[in-house]
Chains A and B, each alone.
Chain A
Amino acid sequence: MATSAGAAHEAADQPATRRIVNDFSIQVATVNGSGSQTANLVLLRSLFQMGVPVSGKNMFPSNIAGLPTWFTIRANKDGYIARKKEVDFLVAMNPETAKEDVLSLHPGQAVLYDEPLKLNALRTDLIFYPVPFDRIVAEVCKDAKLRRLVKNMIYDGVLSRLLGVDMAQMEQALRKQLGKKLKAVELNLGALKAGHAFAAEHLIKQDPYYIEPMDRTAGMILVEGNAAGALGSMMAGVTVVAWYPITPSSSLPETLIAYMRKYRVDKTTGKATFAIVQAEDEIASIGMVIGAGWAGARAMTSTAGPGISLMSEFAGLAYYAEVPGVVFDIQRVGPSTGLPTRTAQGDMLTTATLSHGDTKQILLIPASVEECYTMAIDAFDLAERFQTLVFVMSDLDLGMNTWMSRAFPYPEKPIDRGKLLDAASLRRLGEWGRYQDVDGDGIPYRTVPGDGMAAYFTRGSGHNTKGQYSERPDDYVQNMERLARKFETARSHVPRPDVEDAAGAEIGIVGYGTSHWAIDECRHQLARESEVRTGYLRLRAYPFTEELSAFVDRYERIYVVEQNRDAQMAMLMRMEMRPDQIAKVRSVLHYNGLPIDARSVTDDILVQEGLKARTEVHADVISAGMHAGGE
């Protein structure tokens, strides 16, 4: 069967003369629970193995099987790995969304589709590659029950042929992905080869997209942020973990369990050097963390927005009674249940002031998988140094998607247990009061049960410097002022922002977390396409450090880019800014649940600068088909 027979149209009549190499995005639209994740990760890994910078974003429903899922793979020779809004190559496997997916494409883009869907009838300005998946899979997989699971591997084979992805790399990636499941490897390999053979025999290359080997991933790793956070926690010496299952956080403790069983069981005794508890809810999780932290363990939990809300009361106790602990917040879209499987930076404001009364929490904000790892280690040290909770503010995009990264460094610093009172420090201090600020930095000395040092009573009610119950106005005020002083001290200990100035530029961009990748690319787009130069400050922690105020002073207009509706970080910034600084602040907000992309940021800034009309800006392509997944 010749392609043109089923897909005759203008664009397909002549072979492509343009070659676009290592710079395009592939979107695979499937049904969840169909085993497409393996096919998608094999494709991603193959490109990675060929040395091409790559990123993969899974846009999946809150459901186990049967609803639409999109997986976007982006290859970019320049190393830009944010989500790309435009789809260049669509693989349409899901009958439910296929029509809308195809209608939303820009002219000239390519569609690989399941032949019976007859998508070629929808438009004449696209390149169509029909593939009879059911016929091919029936030939390579005799067991009808397994066909559904290996069917997707066929599009990997077809793409391998069309895009020029080395089959040996595909096979290696497949073996890596499936590990020791030999039967699965064999079946999938058959499907992969059958797809490749079908394409070689029946499809004529008409699109301009090619993959060619590069050398930009040598020595790098592929990992999800949650696995990186788990690794960092293990290397930080975590001993007590309490958690409650919640998307998109669960894979962090689950990966941690796997690593700890392998690397933290005592070789001679076979006993665990850690306790991991699946608690009854998030309140119990944080309660256990606080009990363990109080008793001197390095303790952590991992959750998402709804869990953060439930932990609120305990978070105030930890702040006020001064108990260390680490909380990972893998942010998802709220409010309420929101979009549980979509990404956001929507818990920033809530978490920064989590709990009633005057409360301020320390937040670390990783932008990369490497920072998920390093900040996990920092978080445990800071929690013990400041005797308070430290929140690591990741998100679904970072936590659950696969990112390339350089290999993680071994922690060179010994762990910091903070101000634990011992005989020597007691001699130096003369006398000890649990909440006494002897060093002027707001941080008191603590003892832990069983350490043989003086006991004290820990309470969330009013207390004096000795930890005794007190409702005296002066005791309350002095304690709250000391806590504020302690928070000030934290400013000089938290990770400093990354700053990149542009001489003579009027625009300064402030961003954080996963927004970084879109901002990084947006700055390139602004400079190349519109000759707009920008400075950039990437926040890495709350409280803010002195660099932020100085950065704001250096620019005329400040764009704070974030993935929420209410400009939460900009609000936190305003709380500390002078009026002239506040007047400079504008926001670029992206909150449709999809990872932020560079084009959206670039367009928004150009519109606000008066360099582009709002009507010229295109809506997000994927969002057009999103309602298909509704209940």
Chain B
Amino acid sequence: MPEPTPTAPKKTNRIGLEPQPYRGGKTTLCAGCGHNAISERIIDAFYEMGVDPAQVVKLSGIGCSSKSPAYFLGAAHGFNAVHGRMPSVATGAVLANRRLIAIGVSGDGDTGAIGIGQFVHAMRRNIPMIYIIEDNGCYGLTKGQFSPTADLGSTLKTGVINDLPPLDTCALAIELGASFVARSFSGDKKQLLSILKASLSHRGMCMIDIISPCVTFNDHEGSTKSYAYAKDHDEPLGELNFVPFFEDISVEYDPGTTREVTMHDGSKLLLKKVAEDYDPTDKLAAISLIHETVRRGEFPTGILYIEPDKDDFVTLLDLTAEPLNTLPLDRIRPSREALDEIMESLR
């Protein structure tokens, strides 16, 4: 990792940290892999939002995507779990300590195939976490087999045609109960950064599907997850501006063309309206927008759905304000009198 030269003024963020703790180990993924660009945006978003890495947990399953937590936020605890089961491990961690900020990185196989069950239930529970799918439509680490997000009719490098329809993880997540659902493209720096920053201001499940081309196995003609295809078919919902709560900026906008959403922490999300009647807090509208765009052969990107005030799982469980993992003995072991009372009831 290159150190800043001694003479250069030290760059710090709003909590006084330098970029270093936000960086991770050197990537071992292929040069040009979309996942590396995503890691960089995660580093930027966490740095710019001033999130303390010591309060972050980064989790993953198995696959190329799941290696990436080693490449960002080196000062945060990481957990590379088993294939498809990152959501349950993340759930346990946020229950143990509700103050942790959890970011899970999964892939299209890790989520859409082996992990679809845990994905479904993490969405249903609206677990407070950021759930990223680094979506390249194939299994990279096992050399390029189709994954469940591969589009109907798309081809492998070997020419094999996919004859099964894809899962749309965003449509699923909205249907299942996630309260922040977005899609982006690893090549769209600005949009992805805004989405990630906004997700840090949301309390609840932030499911972000990011088209992230596999340069080695799925970047050819015939692939619908290649750089060229993504650039041609990416249909941004409109300009997306995120104004964090700590930046005292008043933004002028036309309420006729822009919608303002107030986030959990007071930050503001300004969404340029794609259509006069499109409402990103309307579940049905969001799902039909996805289907309509896909029918045209494009894929919509941006924040597709947001429900800022929905109770997350920790709130539903009515947990005490302090993290469970540090409660003192007298709060987790009932008294002698309580045990006596129970024993009496069993006599």
Contacts and interface: CB of A to CB of B under 8 A. Distances in A.
A313 B118 CA distance: 15
Interface stretch (B1-9, B132-140, B220-228, B332-340): B332-340
A279 interface: yes
A313 B84 CA distance: 12
Interface residues of A, number: 69
Contact of B91 (A291, A298, A410, A415): A291
A221 B339 contact: no
Contacts of B314: 275
Contacts of B69: 457
Contacts, number: 211
A410 B77 CA distance: 36
Contacts of B31: none
A291 B343 contact: no
Nearest to B333: A237
Interface string B46-63: 000000011111010000
A151 B56 CA distance: 61
Nearest to A448: B325
Contact of A293 (B88, B92, B319): B92
Interface residues on B, range: 35 or more
Interface string A501-529: 00000000000000000000000000000
Contacts of A449: 55-57, 76-77, 93, 97, 100
Contacts of A408: 339, 343
A313 B320 contact: no
Contact of B338 (A263, A269, A458): A263
B153 interface: no
A296 B88 CA distance: 16
A296 B97 contact: yes
Most chain-A Cβ atoms within 10 A of its Cβ — which of B55, B57, B314?
B57
Nearest to B21: A455
B92 A288 contact: yes
Nearest to A321: B79
B318 A291 contact: no
Interface in B286-329: 314, 317-321, 323-327, 329
A280 B317 CA distance: 16
Most chain-B Cβ atoms within 10 A of its Cβ — which of A271, A287, A452?
A287
B89 A294 contact: yes
A291 B82 contact: no
A240 B98 CA distance: 12
Contacts of B317: 272, 275-277
Most chain-A Cβ atoms within 10 A of its Cβ — which of B59, B94, B333, B336?
B333
B92 A299 contact: yes
Nearest to A296: B325
Interface in B92-115: 92-97, 99-100
Interface string A82-106: 0000000000000000000000000
A317 B81 contact: yes
B236 interface: no
Given A240-B92, A266-B320, A458-B79, A295 B339 contact: no
B326 to A, nearest CB: 7
A278 to B, nearest CB: 10
A277 B95 contact: yes
B89 A297 contact: no
A280 B117 contact: yes
B211 interface: no
A414 B94 CA distance: 26
Given A273-B320, A274-B324, A280 B96 contact: no
A469 interface: yes
B339 A410 contact: yes
Contacts of B325: 239, 292, 295-297, 448, 450
A297 B346 CA distance: 30
A456 B77 contact: yes
Contact of B81 (A219, A279, A292, A460): A460
Most chain-B Cβ atoms within 10 A of its Cβ — which of A219, A259, A450?
A450
B249 interface: no
A548 interface: no
Contact of A271 (B89, B95, B120, B319): B319
Contacts of B54: 450, 452, 455
B346 to A, nearest CB: 4
A280 B121 contact: yes
A289 interface: yes
Which 3 A/B pairs are nearest by Cβ-Cβ distance? A291-B92, A287-B88, A297-B96
Given A263-B338, A275-B324, A279-B88, 5 more contacts: A235-B333, A237-B332, A272-B317, A414-B329, A450-B325
